[in-house]
Amino acid sequence: GDSVTQMEGPVTLSEEAFLTINCTYTATGYPSLFWYVQYPGEGLQLLLKATKADDKGSNKGFEATYRKETTSFHLEKGSVQVSDSAVYFCALDRRGSARQLTFGSGTQLTVLP
């Protein structure tokens, strides 16, 4: 079945540090890939997405590139801020049409001033 594997956290960085959160997936066909962010006490917010190989999703300084050859969708940001502290979830939608999302276990990011 489909699965998403994220790097285990928690991750603690100093402000303005470079961020990478690794995500790899297993799925048949050509899934759409997503990064969601969850702030304390809140639901999930879509951060960025990519729907086909080599697509780059970007938003708020975060980027991730859909790499089919390595089945990866790593999240990166060049300079993190304290306000980026949250839990980040990688997810896939195999049918690519807002059907069932399969999530990774999440990575807790804490950014220190």
- Residues binding other proteins (CB under 8 A): 4, 32, 36, 42-46, 49, 51, 89, 91, 93, 96-106
Please identify, using beta-carbon distances, which residue of 8 and 16 lies nearer to other proteins: 8
CB of 64 to other proteins, least distance (A): 15
Please identify, using beta-carbon distances, which residue of 18 and 39 lies nearer to other proteins: 39
Tell how strand 75-77 and strand 44-50 pair up.
unpaired
CB of 13 to other proteins, least distance (A): 20
CB of 15 to other proteins, least distance (A): 25
Please identify, using beta-carbon distances, which residue of 71 and 96 lies nearer to other proteins: 96
Is the previous residue joined to 31 through a cis bond, with omega within 30 degrees of 0? no
Q: What is the DSSP string of 49-83?
A: EE-STT-EEEETTEEEE-BTTTTB--EEESS--GG
Burial label for 8, CB within 10 Å (0-12, 13-18, 19+), is exposed
